[in-house]
Amino acid sequence: MPSLCIIKGDGVGPEVITQALILLREIDFKFEAEEGLAGYQCYLDCGTPLPDETIQMCKKSDAILFGAVTTPADIDNYFSPIVRLRKLLNLFANVRPFFSLPIKSSRKDLDFTIIRENTEGLYSGKEKLTRNGAEATRIITRSASEKIFRFAFELAQKQKRKKITVVHKANILRLTDGLFIKIAERLHRHYPEIEMDYMLIDTAALNLVRKPEIFDVIVTTNMFGDILSDEAAGLVGGLGIASSANIGDKKALFEPVHGSAPKYQGKNTINPLATFFSVCLLLEYLGDAEKAKRLREAIFKVIKAKFVTRDLGGNAKTTEVTEEVIKCYRKLNDYN
């Protein structure tokens, strides 16, 4: 029986994770759960946004289900617990799938994945004050670049995808992104059946808006991938449906892409589907691909029936969406 570390976090995080746990139990997924604390409220209560006890729970678990946390920008010695966990657990690959949904706000014929290196780049946390202002160090290493490209090629093989687009800014960042590209070229020789092309970050941002159907797998560095994936969410319905997996050699963490959205806290109006799609990724990671497939089908049926929250054009409450997804899942399960 797999063990999960549950981190609910701040704002709407506890609401969406509570609904995810109800969903997992109602689809008869057997698991053990232990809850850890993290986030801004944890900082206020415990003096740290990520206690050692939570880190140890994460290390002992088979996977982590993470809600959302508030990360204020103006508090000295405060750090993002999710960024810290990615580094501590070496969750080097951030994987965000995007696909068309049966709603008006979703573009048609889209099915691509953004994979970003998750542990370094401009999110390395290497910042310092200078006499004239401040500096941030962008770190790109051979070892991390090799790992992310090997992961991307193997994921493309597994999912029968045909092309990888390397997104970079090597015309300006000649050393860091220059190295990133060289690593891509070297590893591509081992995967000749997969096409690979290159695209500047500004061109990629434009093409995501103009012709996103050209993309299959995007591989890029940390900050570029963070920005592009939020842009991509706008193509398929918004952050309320965008899911995310943070994958390492021995551990994985799953989370909705959206933030803590404190203004919606306690109103039972937040869209739980980003978390539910993240649950699908979790199920696949833990080896239950059949449940993941059926759950994804149930979510699609609920969306097609327009039984959704306001951000997707409906009037359903958070808890009502959960109940409807469970109902559809059970019908699909009985049919099969």
The answer to whether 135 and 145 have CB atoms below 8 angstroms apart is: no
| Two structure tokens written together for 286 | 């833990």
The answer to whether 2 and 32 have CB atoms below 8 angstroms apart is: yes
Q: Considering the candidates 62, 191, 230, 293, report the single residue annotated as catalytic.
A: 230
123 as an active site residue: the answer is yes
| Widest CA span in the chain | 68
Separation of alpha carbons 301 and 103, rounded Å: 11
Find the angle CA(257)-CA(270)-CA(247) to the nearest 5 degrees: 25
| Strand pairing report for 243-247 and 93-99 | antiparallel
The answer to whether 91 and 247 have CB atoms below 8 angstroms apart is: yes
Q: Considering the candidates 8, 10, 40, 123, report the single residue annotated as catalytic.
A: 123
The answer to whether 39 and 10 have CB atoms below 8 angstroms apart is: yes
226 as an active site residue: the answer is yes
Q: Considering the candidates 28, 45, 202, 249, report the single residue annotated as catalytic.
A: 202
Q: Considering the candidates 8, 43, 177, 226, report the single residue annotated as catalytic.
A: 226
202 as an active site residue: the answer is yes
Cα torsion angle, 80, 81, 85, 88, sign: positive
Q: Terminus-to-terminus CA distance in the chain, angstroms? A: 24
Q: Considering the candidates 169, 251, 291, 301, report the single residue annotated as catalytic.
A: 169
Nearest by Cα to 274 from 301, 304, 247, 311: 311
Amino acid identity of residue 175, one-letter, is L
| Two structure tokens written together for 17 | 């994770």
Cα torsion angle, 104, 108, 111, 112, sign: negative
Query: What are φ and ψ of residue 63, in 5° steps?
Result: -160, 165
74 as an active site residue: the answer is no
Q: How far is CA 69 from CA 1, 139, 230, in A?
A: 28, 25, 17
CB atoms within 10 A of CB 171: 9
Separation of alpha carbons 277 and 189, rounded Å: 33
Catalytically active residues are: 123, 169, 202, 226, 230
